[in-house]
Amino acid sequence: MLVYEFMPNGTLRDHLSAKNEKPLSFGRRLHIALGSAKGILYLHTEANPPIFHRDVKASNILLDSKFVAKVADFGLSRLAPVPDVEGTLPAHISTVVKGTPGYLDPEYFLTHKLTERSDVYSLGVVFLELLTGMKPIQHGKNIVREVNIAYQSGDISRIIDSRMSSCPPECAMRFLSLAIKCCRDETDTRPYMADIVRELETIRTMLPEGEDLLSETTETGSGMLTKSMSAFSTTTGALFVLSHTSGSGQATNSGIPSGTVAPR
């Protein structure tokens, strides 16, 4: 028998799909993004051996009673490559493509080459979900394509989740820019997970002084956020990984096995 920690706040997708009463504030969304990124950073850099998750998505990010994010479901995970006899570390794993449509790294899909930045692409899609409330694929539209069109046209307000509480436009724009970088088609142009964590922590410091990242507001984002965003234009079930967002340290481990993660 397996016993897992109870996650009273369900999945991130539950909240983004409005299955819960209160919409997530921007501060809480940023908190969840940072916790998720720290958890995946742990897998890539601190787990021994390192692990590629291969199925990062909103329904695999669970939320505890304090909305601490936990990356779950390691059924498709693969161990990262290890150095060969000459000490050379392979850059990728060649494998049958597995994952969830809408979250799949397009280069991995075409080449069957899995890398740590395949997880970066999937997490970038989650970031876009946090900002827009959209699903990765909805009514025949792909979230990455729709956001890129809005971003390049400078019409950001039409894709930002109107249920989100107000936030400084520079924070939302910087978070959006990071998400778009994560979702670039070319693997080598995406940031590494450590860079993502640093950028999210920088964005957190830009929030108004005294704002509680974990607090909810009763006001939704159809007011100040939409106005400020429209004024800001641009021309350009398995195991858990727990990651607290306090401090600048890397993710902490909760139940990560030291041995092999068995595929489904």
CA distance 188 to 121: 11
CA distance 225 to 231: 10
Residue corresponding to tokens 């092999």: 260
CA distance 181 to 128: 11
CA distance 122 to 77: 13
Question: Other CB atoms closer than 10 Å to residue 244's CB: what's the count?
Answer: 16
Q: Are 53 and 255 in contact (CB under 8 A)?
A: no
CA dihedral 232, 201, 254, 215 (to 10 degrees): -60
Mention every residue, 6+ apart, whose C-beta is less than 8 A from residue 39.
69, 70, 71, 241, 242, 243, 251
Tally of residues, the chain: 264
The string of DSSP letters for 66-101 reads: T--EEE---TT-EEPP---TTS---S-EE----S-T
Strand stretches in 84-240, DSSP E: 93-94, 113-114, 137-138, 141-142
Residue corresponding to tokens 């950028």: 199
Active site residues: 55
Residue corresponding to tokens 């809480």: 28
